[in-house]
Amino acid sequence: MTRKQKAHLDFIVEWWKLYGHSPAYRDITEGLGISAVSNTHRIVKALEERGYLKIIPNRARAIYLTEKAHLSNDVPEFTQSPNEKK
């Protein structure tokens, strides 16, 4: 995982802990001081490809943490996507 990917994942984890739902791409972009939402989208997509996130297309605030993210961070269960809940 790159430094930028780790920063994005940490931001998403903290957002879930604080607000109980996923951040919007704009929230991540502004929170990390990134210049363009497209950069955030690219990095979040890479995290999904690495298995840390699950993104549900065509839904607002639909970035969920996977079991892999839960194992690598201290993350509450409620951040899993509906498809992953046991």
Distance between CA 75 and CA 78 in Å, rounded?
A: 9
- 22 lies in some domain: yes
Strand partners, 64: 54
CATH number (domain holding residue 13) = 1.10.10.10
Distance between CA 58 and CA 80 in Å, rounded?
A: 18
> How many domains does the chain divide into?
1
Domain encompassing residue 71: 3-79
Per DSSP, the three-state class of 29 is helix
Grade residue 28 by pLDDT with cuts at 50, 70 and 90: very high
- 84 lies in some domain: no
Mean pLDDT of 3-22: 91
The per-residue b/e assignment along 76-85, b for 16 or more CB within 10 angstroms, e otherwise, is eeebbbeeee
- 32 lies in some domain: yes
- Say what the pTM is: 0.81
- 86 lies in some domain: no
